[in-house]
Amino acid sequence: MQTSIINEHKLHDLLGRTIVDFGGCSMAPLVVIGDRLGLYRELTAHGPLTSTELAARTKTHERYVREWSNAQAASGYVSYDAQTGRYSMTPEQALLFAQEDSPAFIVGAFQTSMFAGRMAERLTESFRTGEGIGWHEHHHELFHGIERFFRSGYVGNLVQTWLPALNGVEAKLHSGAQVADIGCGHGASTIIMAGAFPKSQFIGFDYHPESIAEANARARGAGVAANCRFEVASAKDFPARNYDLVTVFDALHDMGDPAGASRHVLTTLAPDGVWMIVEPYAGDRVEENLNPVGRAYYAGSTLMCTPCSLAQEVGTALGAQAGEARVRAIVTGAGFTRFKRALQTPFNLIYEARR
């Protein structure tokens, strides 16, 4: 038997990190509860508050609110003043937890990870059988979580930097373009674009009917229904309408047949049309992704993206950390002759493809 020598230092370091993570896992439902009950918003609007005052204002039970508040304070998500026994939110904490329209709003990420975790039993079986789990099979709260999580990134980047990074696209959108957003989910990206470019027509497609119904309701709520609508269609059969721009936000790697989808996109584009592909940031090699961002994406990919692709025809299962080389190979293999990385952020890669 091999004798292993335990390095105390390494052991304590790893243990320390797992305790942080274990606490973080337990915080996911507490963040969701605080969001639902308006605890963060009330603290932001009226803090500093004692737990009694916060409970009274949110019509909740003080004992629960006190425990919740202490867990938040220990996480650094809420501030605590020991002199007064009051809780409050700094402007930074408010941006992350209380302000839905802020580009830093993070509640959707916790909501997503909490409801993705509900698939653990099914997924354990999938590990044994190799069977996929369709996107539509998740809890509906997961779809809302994804919408809220990704929307923050789109609010902060899409109109300001991503679209302008594509050659000639912004000018076309201002003068009036036909745009299709594929795998649009609840339509966060589509609705933001429709609001910014009222002369252009936007249509979002997703194979999931409940998401499409939600997206149409969101478009009406946002006042963009005149130039934005949503239809049920898969990436391989959405109707061709000579689009000036086709977009796919964080969905190519979820598709069972991204190569087939790429071939179909090519047939739907106008001759000088552009395909914008937004994917999670990733390097081509595993070792390039062994960092906090790669970790979150690999985990989400195991829980949602890989099973989603495996549930569909072909089941390519690119994974959320596919990297540029694999995406380029798929897109150019489908017949696009021009492909480039137009932009990158710490969280996303934005590609531009042309025929």
Report how far residue 189's alpha carbon sits from residue 192's, in angstroms, rounded to the nearest whole number: 5
Nearest-approach distance from CB 146 to ligand SAM, in angstroms: 5
Interface with ligand SAM (CB under 6 A), residue from 244, 254, 279, 352: 254
**Residue number, 169 or 180, with CB nearest to ligand SAM:** 180
> In degrees rounded to 5, what are phi and psi of residue 24?
-65, -40
Nearest-approach distance from CB 258 to ligand SAM, in angstroms: 9
Interface with ligand SAM (CB under 6 A), residue from 34, 145, 183, 323: 183
Residue 219 within binding range of ligand SAM, rule CB under 6 A: no
Mark the segment that binds ligand SAM (CB under 6 A) among 52-60, 83-91, 181-189, 342-350: 181-189
Residue 93 within binding range of ligand SAM, rule CB under 6 A: no
Interface with ligand SAM (CB under 6 A), residue from 51, 99, 189, 200: 189
Residue 255 within binding range of ligand SAM, rule CB under 6 A: yes
Residue 103: cis peptide before it, omega within 30 degrees of 0:
no
- Window 298-317: contact mask with ligand SAM (x via CB under 6 A): ----------x---x-----
Report how far residue 309's alpha carbon sits from residue 314's, in angstroms, rounded to the nearest whole number: 8
Q: Tokens 């993705």 — which residue?
A: 116
Nearest-approach distance from CB 183 to ligand SAM, in angstroms: 3
Instruction: Kindly give the interhelix angle for 107-116 and 140-157, rounded to the nearest 10 degrees.
Output: 150
Nearest-approach distance from CB 343 to ligand SAM, in angstroms: 16
C-beta nearest to ligand SAM: residue: 185
Nearest-approach distance from CB 99 to ligand SAM, in angstroms: 19
Residue 249 within binding range of ligand SAM, rule CB under 6 A: yes
Residue 188 within binding range of ligand SAM, rule CB under 6 A: yes
Interface with ligand SAM (CB under 6 A), residue from 51, 88, 234, 316: 234
Interface with ligand SAM (CB under 6 A), residue from 30, 146, 318, 322: 146
Nearest-approach distance from CB 36 to ligand SAM, in angstroms: 21
Instruction: Kindly give the interhelix angle for 8-37 and 62-75, rounded to the nearest 10 degrees.
Output: 140
Please choose, from the candidates 166, 251, 148, the residue with its C-alpha nearest in 3D space to the C-alpha of residue 204: 251
Interface with ligand SAM (CB under 6 A), residue from 53, 206, 279, 352: 206
On whether the CB atoms of residues 179 and 201 are closer than 8 A, the answer is yes
Mark the segment that binds ligand SAM (CB under 6 A) among 31-39, 61-69, 105-113, 179-187: 179-187
Mark the segment that binds ligand SAM (CB under 6 A) among 39-47, 109-117, 202-210, 282-290: 202-210
Chain residues binding ligand SAM by CB under 6 A are 135, 146-147, 150, 183-185, 188-189, 206-208, 211, 234-235, 249-251, 254-255, 308, 312
